[in-house]
Amino acid sequence: MPPCLYDVLGLGNAIVDVISRADDDFLAAQGLNKGAMMLIDEARAEELYKAMGPAAIVSGGSAANTIIGAASLGCSAAFIGKVKADELGAVFAHDIRAAKVKFSTAFSPDGAASARCLVIVTPDGQRTMNTFLGACQSLTEADVDEDIVKHSGIVYLEGYLWDPPAAKAAFVKASKIARAAGRKVALSLSDSFCVDRYRDEFIGLIRSGAVNILFANESELHSLYQTADFDTAVAQLRGENILSAITRSEQGSIVVTRDEVLATPAFPVDEVVDTTGAGDLFAAGFLAGLSKGKDLGTCARLGSLAAAEIIQHIGARPQTDLAQLAGQNGLKL
């Protein structure tokens, strides 16, 4: 096996979040489905932005958030994703590199603008996302640097990559290289509507052995197995030959393998300000634990801790040194 230069490599849509607060009436007036991620085109992005209140602009992207979180927990990390050579693209690249993550994907010189996600945060802390994929549509197999993939212990892929057509090929290529190099491949199901769009393909990835580790929340799991019953879904999951971590908001998480179901409570928080990135950061903590050889219970606790940090402020990138926070909570990595 080639030496491991990166503990974790993420492959995902490179997105900058534009975050604004609004009430439920705004969601209704704009026809937005609370808590979900909706794909929008550029014209709709402009229209919605105009209707939104003052906004904070913070780098995001599901897998990118996870990788940043893992880096903050002390992992060596890399990311592959596509931005354009424009102002938001420069912001994305700055922020991920400033977090000490290797990011060397070529910028698109022309074509669609860098992706943005218009995030509406309601007073209950719930986030509703509207993504204009833009330059992410230009991610292709050619952007998957074989050398980086081979030298990464875990390759983490987001289900959202199924949305831009050429990105799926990049996903498949990365997964193949990783498996051939004896690496682990992790998949996040991203969003229940995303699962609706690509259910058969995601199940195919799990059953073909293309994926070893699965991250999902309850509604994504329900959507995957098309059942409203949690226990039924978990029983199905136990039948797959993978390691799964299922997040359950304030009920914490369960880790599911063929042999066991391990429940871990959520980490207590003072106030939920913005849930954007909660799942991403759970994955960050879990993957950081795995890459450092921790037991599954510790991995889940690290996930809960990182998720708790992210939901207590606006934006899906940590504002605290997570390694230090973990140490303060008896979870030294």
Residues in contact with its own copies by CB under 8 A are 20-21, 49-50, 52-59, 68, 86-88, 91, 94-96, 98-99, 313-315, 317, 319
| Min CB(62)–its own copies separation in Å | 16
Residue among 26 and 225 whose Cβ is closer to its own copies: 26
- The minimum distance between CB 271 and its own copies, in angstroms, equals 11
Identify which of residues 89 and 252 has a Cβ nearer to its own copies in the complex.
Answer: 89
Say how far apart CA 267 and CA 14 lie, in whole Å. Answer: 28
Kindly tell me the sign of the dihedral angle through the C-alpha atoms of 70, 75, 79, 83: positive
To its own copies, the closest distance from the beta carbon of 127 in angstroms equals 15
- 257 near 212, Cβ under 8 Å? no
Which residues does residue 129 pair with via DSSP β-bridges, in sequence order?
37, 119
Kindly report the backbone phi and psi dihedral angles of residue 281, in degrees, each rounded to the nearest multiple of 5, phi listed first. -80, -30
Q: What count of other Cβ atoms lies within 10 Å of the Cβ of residue 166?
A: 17
Give the type of residue at 217.
Answer: N
Cβ atoms of 301 and 264 within 8 Å: the answer is yes
Shortest Cβ distance from residue 58 to its own copies (Å)? 5
CA distance 271 to 80: 33
Q: Which is nearer to its own copies, 51 or 172 (CB)?
A: 51
142 burial (CB, 10 Å; 0-12 / 13-18 / 19+) is exposed
- Which residue in this structure is represented by tokens 């997570």? 322
For residue 20, the cross-strand partners are: 120
Closer CB to its own copies, 87 or 147, in the complex:
87
| CA–CA–CA angle 111, 117, 118 (5° rounding) | 125
What's the min distance (Å) between Cβ of 163 and its own copies? 24
Instruction: Quote the least distance from Cβ 98 to its own copies, whole Å.
Output: 5
Residue 72 or 217: the one with the smaller Cβ distance to its own copies is 72
Nearer to its own copies, 95 or 309 (CB): 95
**Phi and psi for 144 in degrees, rounded to 5?**
-85, 105
Q: At 166, which helix (H) or strand (E)?
A: helix 165-180
Q: Which is nearer to its own copies, 99 or 290 (CB)?
A: 99
Question: Whole-number minimum distance, CB 30 to its own copies, in Å?
Answer: 14
Minimum gap (Å) between residue 47 Cβ and its own copies: 12
Nearer to its own copies, 251 or 319 (CB): 319
Percent helix, percent strand, percent coil in the chain, to nearest 5? 45, 20, 35
Task: At 198, list the tokens.
Answer: 């690509």
Three-state DSSP class for residue 274: coil
